[in-house]
């Protein structure tokens, strides 16, 4: 049965029996101090905001500081047990669970992790992040079996996972190009675009046309003027020949993504002739300021909902919402609705299986991970546009 977790519908659907249930104790297992303190506190803030909007529900949040350390994580979890936490929110990183999964009491509790891990799952942990399969399933809509594409990415383990999953697409891969470091991006893009050959061909053509002009001593006619202008225009470019590929997927982020597309553009392979695609950009504004990223396609959550949440954060906290915080606005209502609508005192991870309509879009929880129906967007005129 499809479950709806939109805030208003949750509140209206709660009857007197639901309100009579004991309060829900949520343990925020987060790095509230240490090297990840900023991230942890931002997410903790998003938990408090979401619960404030569910003010008619009896929910208590217990902060459990992992201190961004292994020992701190164990102490935080044990504190949660002593506080009789019903459900843990966190940790942020799936790797953190390895520090506590063998401790007494761990298997008796449910964890909602912000991780997007798919392969690493535990029976009592729901990975709520936007996973790779969800992104590639959405991107598959713009790949067809009659075209070939280039896979371009860094040498990270993550890119290897992306590459393996992309092999399931209908489109055939023309080439896989992996760069080792930031400096290597220049070399790889230059090779892919066959720039040296195209440039030499271009220079030869300029010399040929200049020779014709000189040998025939073209008079100052209208044709001669056009001929001269054509040569001058050619000199303004490194090459006028188009590249032979039409689609490139980039498995990289931030400065490396910007650098990659900038180099493709520099070697005359830009959005006018090539379709570039990448993974979720979380609508970060920095990508809008780069001309080379024009028409870049990526999958993501509902942009309208994201903007509403971001405006709320800018108004109240004078900052943009951090992307993991967005997940909280689906996570908390889901946990609350399931908890207060169940007659069971102790829930299992399977109680959360189902399809949902969340603040950021539709998603399904199955096999302890959230699979999302994402939307395709492109950068167009310094704006994020839905395709």
pLDDT value at residue 18 = 40
pLDDT value at residue 221 = 54
Both tokens of residue 365? 């929880």
Which parts of the chain have pLDDT scores under 50?
Answer: 1-2, 4-20
* Contacts of range 41-44, beta carbons closer than 8 Å, 24 or more positions apart: 42/322, 42/324, 42/325, 43/90, 43/92, 43/114, 43/322, 43/324, 43/325, 43/328
pLDDT value at residue 222 = 55
Q: CB count, 10 Å around CB of 186?
A: 16
Both tokens of residue 175? 């080439």
pLDDT value at residue 246 = 93
CATH topology for 3-129+303-373?
Answer: Rossmann fold (3.40.50)
Kindly list the strands in the beta sheet with 297-300, ordered across the sheet, starting from the edge strand earlier in the chain.
172-179, 148-154, 247-251, 275-278, 297-300, 375-379, 384-386
pLDDT value at residue 202 = 78
pLDDT value at residue 21 = 56
Give the separation between CA 225 and CA 384, rounded to whole angstroms: 44
Architecture of domain 134-299+378-386: 3-Layer(aba) Sandwich (3.40)
What 3 state SS string does 18-49 have? HHCCCCEEEEEEECCCCCCHHHHHHHHHHHHH
Q: What's the burial of 119, exposed, middle or buried (CB within 10 Å: 0-12/13-18/19+)?
A: exposed
Task: Specify the pTM.
Answer: 0.86
Give the separation between CA 52 and CA 111, rounded to whole angstroms: 21
Give the separation between CA 333 and CA 13, rounded to whole angstroms: 12
> How far from 64 is each of 33, 59, 136, 281, 309, CA to CA, in Å?
10, 16, 35, 30, 25
In the chain, list all ranges with CATH 3.40.50.2300. 3-129+303-373
């Amino acid at each position: 049965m499809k479950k709806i977790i939109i805030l208003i519908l949750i509140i209206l659907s709660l009857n007197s029996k639901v309100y009579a249930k004991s309060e829900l104790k949520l343990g925020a297992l987060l790095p509230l101090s240490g090297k990840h303190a900023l991230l942890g506190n931002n997410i903790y803030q998003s938990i408090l905001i979401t619960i404030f909007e569910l003010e008619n529900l009896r929910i208590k949040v217990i902060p459990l500081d992992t201190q961004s350390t292994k020992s701190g994580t164990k102490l935080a979890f044990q504190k949660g047990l002593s506080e009789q936490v019903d459900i843990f929110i966190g940790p942020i990183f799936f790797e953190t669970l390895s520090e506590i999964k063998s401790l007494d009491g761990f298997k008796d509790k449910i964890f909602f992790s912000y991780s997007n891990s798919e392969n690493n799952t535990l029976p009592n942990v729901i990975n709520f992040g936007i996973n790779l399969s969800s992104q590639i399933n959405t991107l598959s809509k713009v790949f067809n079996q009659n075209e070939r594409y280039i896979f371009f990415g860094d040498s990270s383990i993550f890119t290897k996972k992306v590459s393996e999953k992309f092999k399931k697409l209908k489109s055939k891969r023309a080439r896989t190009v992996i760069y080792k470091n930031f400096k290597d991006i220049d070399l790889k893009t230059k090779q892919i675009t066959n720039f040296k050959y195209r440039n030499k061909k271009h220079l030869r053509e300029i010399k040929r046309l200049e020779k014709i002009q000189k040998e025939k001593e073209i008079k100052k006619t209208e044709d001669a003027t056009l001929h001269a202008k054509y040569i001058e225009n050619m000199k303004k470019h490194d090459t006028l020949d188009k590249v032979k590929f039409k689609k490139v997927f980039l498995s990289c982020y931030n400065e490396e993504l910007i650098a990659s597309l900038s180099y493709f553009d520099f070697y005359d392979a830009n959005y006018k002739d090539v379709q570039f695609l990448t993974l979720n950009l979380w609508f970060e504004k920095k990508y809008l300021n780069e001309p080379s990223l024009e028409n870049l396609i990526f999958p993501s959550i509902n942009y309208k909902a994201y903007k509403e949440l971001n405006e709320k954060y800018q108004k109240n906290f004078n900052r943009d919402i951090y992307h993991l915080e967005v997940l909280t606005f689906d996570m908390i209502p889901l946990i609350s609705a399931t908890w207060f609508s169940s007659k069971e005192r102790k829930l299992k991870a399977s109680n959360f299986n189902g399809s949902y309509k969340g603040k950021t879009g539709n998603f399904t929880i199955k096999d302890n991970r959230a699979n999302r129906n994402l939307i395709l967007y492109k950068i167009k005129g310094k704006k994020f546009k839905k395709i």
